Amino acid sequence: WQAGDRSTPHLDHAENEIQRLDRIIADMLSLTRLEAKLPDRMDAPVNLLDLVNERITDLRSHSENVTLRIEHDGANLIEVLGQRPLLARALDNLLSNAVKYGGTPPEIDLRICRSGQEVALTIRDNGRGVPPAEMGRLFRIYFRASNTRGIDGQGLGLAIVERIVRAHGGRCSAENSAQ
């Protein structure tokens, strides 16, 4: 290969496809592990605020024109018990979806609040939402809403989020916001 070689666009395309396939394989492995209940140690203290700030910093490093607002109840420490890497993966998937399916440019509101022993994390974007008849299938493996045609994805991200949250004793829900 030499500089100026006409094969460069083909090599770039091949590299992008390899990266896409690598993400799909990683997603499938994560999903398989979660389905097999392999994450056995779910008792490490995780500061959710620190984790959210870390994942947002990472998001901002590779996403342009994203408006992101964070709201929390003022506590410096909102701690949960679990596996930090799994929780990071869930946050990454949620934030990535908010960027991918949000409006143009994406505007994301993230809210964290504690109520007794429970912690609620809410992410709201300015996207078109999901057709109401399809909302109940949103966390199923391979499900893609009918209004997402032409947007890259395999229907694994929210299924992984749901399994991670369930493995941590939580639950997921989604709803369209009133525009």
* Tens digit of pLDDT at every position of the chain (179 positions): 455 566 677 787 788 778 777 777 776 777 677 666 655 677 889 999 999 999 999 998 888 889 999 998 877 778 899 888 889 999 999 999 999 988 889 999 999 998 888 899 999 999 889 999 999 999 998 899 998 888 888 888 899 899 889 888 899 999 998 75
The predicted structure's pLDDT at residue 1: 46
In the block, tokens 């505007």 appear at 107
- Please state the pTM of the whole predicted model: 0.80
Confidence at residue 167, expressed as pLDDT on a 0 to 100 scale? 86
Question: Which pLDDT value is given to residue 24?
Answer: 72
Interatomic CA distance for residues 55 and 102, integer angstroms: 18
Q: How far apart are the first and last CA of the chain?
A: 52
Phi-psi region of 15 (alpha: psi -120 to 50; beta: other; left: phi over 0): alpha
